[in-house]
Amino acid sequence: SGPWMCYPGQAFQVPALRGCRPVLNLQCNGSKVPEAVLRDCCQQLADISEWCRCGALYSMLDSMYKEHGVQEGQAGIGAFPRCRREVVKLTAASITAVCRLPIVVDASGDGAYVCKDVAAYPDA
């Protein structure tokens, strides 16, 4: 395993993380996330290599925006009508921490729990 396996064109296919979409929507809108919904999301993330979890989260976020036809720079519409983009990105970045799932933040193998690259992802 390693960061190379997370890039498009490799054997690894980025999962859709369908179980994490409701977590993001509920958290962003200030609603309580039911335990079963959170457990489903965390299980889907746990099945992904710790090298690839953040990439899977920002891929999920990007696809949610694209499904709603939202372009970069637009806020308050589409997938998250009550949430500013910065809040959406930070919420997505913290899902790994909420699930208590470690991630690898760089090629040195240093670990963390919050995805910095999701928070910095410009298109999300």
Q: What is the pLDDT of residues 20-61, one digit of tens each?
A: 999 988 988 888 999 999 999 999 999 988 888 888 898 888
Q: Which domains does the chain have, with CATH numbers?
A: 19-120 (1.10.110.10)
- Residue 76, classed as helix, strand or coil, is coil
pLDDT tens digits along 91-108: 889 999 999 999 886 666
At 35 the pLDDT is: 96
DSSP state, residue 112: E
Burial category of 40 from C-beta neighbours within 10 Å (exposed 0-12, middle 13-18, buried 19 and up): middle
Amino acid code (one letter) for 101: L
